[in-house]
A and B are shown apart, each in its own frame.
Chain A
Amino acid sequence: MDLVFDASPEDLKVFVQEAEELIQQTDENILRLEKEGEDPELIQEIFRAAHTIKGSAGMLGHERMAQLMHAWETLFDKVRKGELSVTAELIDILLDCLDALKVLKDECYTLKSSGIDIAPLSSKLLSFAEGTVIQAKDDAPTEMTLDDEDIQAISLAEIGGSSAYRMVIKISENSPMPSVRLYQVVEELQPLGQIMKSNPSMEAIENAECGTDLELILITDEDQSRIESIVKSISELSSFTIDAFQDEAEAPKEQAKPAKSKTKGKKTSETDAAAETQSTATVADERILDRGPEARGKSQQETTQIKAAPIKTVRVDVERLDHLMNLVGELVIGKTRLLSIGSELADNYHLGDISGILNEVTAQIGQITNELQEEVMRARMLPIEQVFNKFPRLVRDLARNVGKEVNFVLEGQETEIDRSVLEEIGDPLIHLIRNAIDHGVETPEERKKAKKPSEGNVYLGARHEENHIVVEISDDGKGMDAQKLKEKAIKKGFITPEAAERMSDRDAYELIFLSGFSTADKVSEISGRGVGMDVVRNNIKKINASIEIDSELGKGTKFMIKLPLTLVIVDALTVVVEDKLYAIPLSMVKEVLHLEKDDIKMVERLETILLRGSVLPLLRLNELFGNSGCGRNCDDLHVVVVGYGDNKVGIVVDSLVSKMEIMIKALGDYLGGIDGISGATILGDGRVALVIDPVSLISKVDTQRTISTQTVDFGKKSKRKKIA
């Protein structure tokens, strides 16, 4: 079904952008709400965002979106007024709504109905609002009628050194017999001290005349954490809160509506006005989809209020930036070409002054080009936040799904990275974080057994390091068992037992990148189908990045991804192999060696050399690329050592040419992916040189090494002997 909106394509674009921002912001805010509790300002912000979306959706005529947001508002209004407390269920519903909202928003792009039915969601929202409101009203009398005697008893107890706690306990809706659970709660709590008052009353609980909620005041000598741990040990609880009881006489009343009273205190005049607008708008919107001029006016007013902060940025179409970057790339090539022409003129023709002037101009253009390149690159940079943002939600959902407690720490969101890299990094990160939660972090019970806090930590951070961005994902879970990995690899036929024996732990971890290798004993919904990690590595390879694993059994696992700052322009070393020019990205070049023929040892048909005591396999490009292999007889050899971390390989070349900036251009679909080549570049003289992809060369050697029983490992063994 095609959708028609009351707006020009331009307006739609603006709306979608605005909605995207608001949805993302709300997504974060809701998670904060769950974590930090009911902060009136936060609630106000969520409310305002929802209201803005509703207003604009109404204007566009996106009725379902407006309807959903209206229901959301109704519910959230209750939260704002303190009539509804923030519970896990509430958060769940809100997040579900946001997901639906995202789909609805996308309809504005596609102009096709997604077929999503929002009726159940909005009725769920409304009934949630209604239901809990009624409950709150029911609760109110019992809770509020702490008579003077009770309060006196509490203060007496407090003078006696005990403390009073007000607890709210909710049993999961799925529990078959909530009353039994509540009874269990009471039973567990009674030994701790005295239960002053409860709602529902003790008799009601004993007679099973109660719902899923329990509110009580407990006077006890125990401290809060002990109570918490006791309550936590009861299963089927959906949520509970424990607060110290406030001993002022008016405390109960205050407690009933804390949010509202605080809100009033803190409100600035501006938000006050906004709140007023909202309440009138809400009234107006009671006629749900009657988008009268009145409602329109209000929401516009609302929008302008949000946009009041001065913005000094301009939205630029991504394609335009890409094009700009391409042009700059051409300019860089042109600059390089000018330089070579200049030096040729100076060398071969006696032009005197004019050649000097040319060089001067070239240098100047070069400088401007460099600056331009830097600026354009910077304009393409985005904070990695854009990718990181979606993870708190992902982690929360995953952890809940698998029943694990996860403390997720994000760091370095402000680190800027090229758009092209940013686009590619999302999926691998999702995979790695899923793995960390699914395989890394243990269940709370397992963690307790291992004498760890029941809450696992998952860390995701980004930082600058030299010419790279390093993204680190770590967990303090069970770590990887190198032995287990090897056994699995043997069982699956990836390696032989002999090879496994000689394999270092670090190499064993790398096994998880093999396609079809999965360490999970059980295949879960989330991960463990063995399609994950090889995809991760491929994606990472694709963007010229590298990944390293560090793991300690029982302590956790760490993945380090080293990303290039940009994918487009890189420094490269140009080399000649059999009259053909190749460029090797300088970021991967470790060193350049000069060898003689005799330095090369043949280890099972694989050429290797000993480099400062460690074994370095050699590769000959011409043989690899299927050309005639006549170069083996040369006496003098140049070897470019490329690699990352411990993975190194030497590329034998005929000669080194120079270091230069190149712009990597994809070879395109037509040629398909070619092993060992990541693209092409145009040199100063207009010729095309192929760009070597060291990562795929290394993995090529790796597979040879892993699969073959006796190749390079043989060399390692002899080295050990020597040391012994």
Chain B
Amino acid sequence: MSQEQAFEQDQLVVFEVGDESFGIDISLVQEIIRLQPITEVPKAPMHVKGVINLRGKVIPVVDLIERFGFSSSEETKATRIVVVNVLGNTVGMIVDAVSEVLRLSIDSIEPPSSIVESVGSQYLKGIGKLEERLIILLDLDKLLAEMGAKAIGDFAGLSAVA
């Protein structure tokens, strides 16, 4: 472990939602695209905005802005969809802006504390410190799994049993 840590540097894609910066592992990111017309899907899970056409593929899009409790700000020129591959699904995430790609050495990452209020701590991998900035590292697996149909499906299953 220690050996790995010594060499490991996380490469992160950093994006902004509201006034906070979030980082995700670059290997999960397929591409970053401009905001596109989104086709709403009725009765979709709550934070799923709908589907878009990604070069012939239909992929679901979730709204992180809404999920993190920021009032859905106006679309700006900076608004992007970050397309990620998580849990065998290709999912787009709407974010306010994508700022940069940066390297973060493992030892500048701190375990999550309860300071961050906007995101439940179960979706946090840690807090990255970079000079004066704090970057919230997201556990996308958990976050997107919660936002997708799985959680909803479980809920429906429960109610069916009852």
A binds B: yes
With a CB–CB cut-off of 8 A, which chain B residues contact A625? 42-43
Contact residues in B for A675 (Cβ distance below 8 Å): 43
CB nearest neighbor in A for B52: A688
The verdict on A580 contacting chain B, using a C-beta distance below 8 Å, is yes
Distance of A670 Cα from B91 Cα, bound (Å): 8
User: How many whole Å from A428's CB to the nearest CB in chain B?
Assistant: 22
**Is the CB–CB distance between A672 and B153 below 8 Å?**
yes
* A523 to B79 CA separation, bound complex (whole angstroms): 60
Given the contacts A333-B56, A672-B152, A687-B53, A680 and B39 also touching, CB distance less than 8 Å: yes
> Does B60 make an interface contact (CB < 8 A)?
yes
Residue of B nearest to A679 (CB): B58
Decide if A671 is an interface residue (CB 8 Å cutoff): yes
Residue A298 is within 8 A (CB to CB) of chain B in the complex: no
Query: Known: A687-B37, A687-B53. Is A670-B58 also a contact (CB below 8 A)?
Result: no
Q: Could you say which residues of chain A place their CB within 8 Å of the CB of B57?
A: 665
Asked whether any CB of chain A lies closer than 8 Å to the CB of B83, the reply is no
Interface residues in A187-218 by Cβ distance below 8 A to B read none
Q: Count chain A CB atoms within 10 A of each CB in B40, B45, B58, B148 and give the residue with the most.
A: B58
Chain B residues with CB under 8 A of A682 = 53, 56, 58
Which chain B residues lie closer than 8 Å to A673 at the CB level? 149
CB of B78 within 8 Å of the partner chain: no
Whole-angstrom distance between the alpha carbons of A333 and B58 in the complex?
A: 13
| B102 contacts A by Cβ under 8 Å | no
Fill in one digit per residue for B38-80: 1 if any A CB lies within 8 Å of its CB, else 0.
0111111100101111001111100000000000000000000
Range, interface on chain A: 20 to 34
Contact code string A662-698 (vs B, CB < 8 Å = 1, else 0): 0001111111111111011110001111100000000
List chain B residues, Cβ under 8 A from A687: 37, 39, 53
Q: Is the CB of A680 within 8 A of B56?
A: no
Check B51–A674 contact: CB distance below 8 A: no
A627 B42 Cβ-Cβ under 8 A: yes
> Chain A: which residue is nearest B62 at the CB level?
A670
Shortest distance between the CB of A376 and any CB in chain B (Å): 16
Closest residue to A689 on the B side, CB-wise?
B39
Q: Which residues of A contact B52 (CB under 8 A)?
A: 688
Q: Which residues of B contact A599 (CB under 8 A)?
A: none
The reply to whether B58 and A665 form a contact with Cβ atoms under 8 Å apart is: yes
- Give the residue name and chain of the B residue nearest to A663 (CB): B56
Closest to A326 in B: B56
Q: Given A682-B56, A688-B51, A688-B58, are A669 and B42 neighbors across the interface (CB < 8 Å)?
A: no
Do A671 and B56 have beta carbons less than 8 Å apart? no
Check B43 against A626 for contact (C-beta < 8 Å): yes
- Cα-based distance from A667 to B59 in the complex (angstroms): 7
Q: Is the CB of A626 within 8 A of B42?
A: yes
C-alpha spacing A626/B39, complex, angstroms: 15
Query: Residue A330 at the B interface, CB < 8 A?
Result: yes
Q: Which of A669, A670, A690 neighbours the largest number of chain B CB atoms within 10 Å of its CB?
A: A670
> Which residues of chain A are near B40, meaning CB under 8 Å?
580
Interface string of B12-47 (1 = CB under 8 A from A): 000000000000000000000000010111111100
Interface residues of A in 606-664 (CB under 8 A from B): 624-627
Contacts of B43 in A (CB 8 A): 625-626, 674-675
Which residues of the other chain, A, contact B58 by a CB distance below 8 angstroms?
665-668, 679-682, 688
In the assembled complex, which residues on chain A have CB atoms less than 8 Å from the CB atom of B37? 687
| CA distance in complex: A677, B48 (Å) | 16
> Which of A330, A627, A676, A680 is close to B51, meaning CB atoms less than 8 Å apart?
A680
Q: Which residues, 82 to 122 on A, are CB-close (under 8 Å) to B?
A: none
Report yes or no: B89 in contact with A668, Cβ–Cβ below 8 A. Answer: yes
Q: Which residue of B lies closest to A622 (CB)?
A: B42
Contact yes or no, A688 B48, CB < 8 A: no
Residue in A closest to B36 when the chains form the complex, CB atoms = A686
* B-chain residues with CB within 8 Å of residue A333 when the two chains form the complex: 56
Residue of B nearest to A666 (CB): B58
Interface of chain B residues 118 through 136 with chain A (CB within 8 A): none
Contact partners of B48 in chain A: CB under 8 A = 670-671
Q: Enumerate A124-159 residues with CB–CB distance to B below 8 Å.
A: none
Q: Is there contact, CB below 8 Å, between B41 and A667?
A: yes
Q: Check A672 against B45 for contact (C-beta < 8 Å).
A: yes
Please report the C-alpha to C-alpha distance between residue A336 and residue B121 in the assembled complex, in whole angstroms: 48
Residue of A nearest to B57 (CB): A665
- Give, as a whole number of angstroms, the nearest-CB distance from B21 to chain A: 26
CA distance A688 to B152 in the complex (A): 24
Q: Bound complex: CA of A671 vs CA of B45, how far in Å?
A: 7
Most buried by A among B40, B53, B59: B53
Give the shortest distance, in Å, between A329 (CB) and chain B (any CB).
8
* Minimum CB distance partner of B56 in chain A: A330
The distance in angstroms between the C-alpha atoms of A687 and B60, with both chains bound, is 14
For A624, A625, A667, A672, the residue with the greatest tally of chain B CB atoms inside 10 Å of its CB is A672
Query: Which residues of chain B have C-beta atoms less than 8 A from A670's C-beta?
Result: 48, 60, 89, 91, 144, 148-149
CA distance A258 to B39 in the complex (A): 74
* Residues of chain B in range 130-162 having any CB-CB distance to chain A below 8 Å: 144, 148-150, 152-153
A681 to chain B, nearest CB (A): 8
A333 to B52, CA, bound (A): 15
Chain B residues within an 8 Å CB radius of A624: 42
A195 to B89, CA, bound (A): 77
Given A330-B56, A665-B57, A688-B52 in contact, is the A671-B42 Cβ separation under 8 Å?
no
Chain B residue nearest in CB terms to A675: B43
Instruction: Give the distance in Å from the alpha carbon of A66 to the alpha carbon of B59 in the complex.
Output: 50
Kindly identify which residue among B53, B89, B91, B148 contacts A688, using a CB–CB cutoff of 8 Å: B53
Q: Which chain B positions have C-beta within 8 A of A676?
A: 42
Max chain A Cβ within 10 angstroms of own Cβ: one of B89, B148, B149: B149
Name the B residues within 8 Å of A681 (CB-CB): 58
Contact A690 B41 (CB under 8 A): yes
Question: Which chain A residues border B51 with CB–CB below 8 Å?
Answer: 667, 671, 680, 688
B56 cross-chain contacts in A, Cβ below 8 A? 329-330, 333, 682
Bound Cα distance from A670 to B149, whole angstroms: 5
Q: Which of A327-366 contact B (CB under 8 A)?
A: 329-330, 333
Given A667-B60, A672-B149, A688-B50, output 4 extra A-B contacts at Cβ < 8 Å: A625-B42, A669-B89, A669-B150, A690-B42
A interface residues (Cβ-Cβ under 8 A, vs B): 329-330, 333, 580, 624-627, 665-677, 679-682, 686-690
Give 23 pairs: A residue, B residue, CB < 8 Å, sorted on A.
A626-B42, A668-B59, A668-B60, A670-B48, A670-B60, A671-B44, A671-B51, A672-B150, A672-B152, A672-B153, A673-B149, A674-B44, A676-B42, A680-B41, A680-B58, A682-B53, A686-B53, A687-B39, A688-B52, A688-B53, A689-B39, A690-B39, A690-B41
Q: What 7 pairs between A and B have smallest CB-CB spacing? A: A672-B149, A625-B42, A688-B39, A680-B58, A670-B89, A670-B148, A665-B58
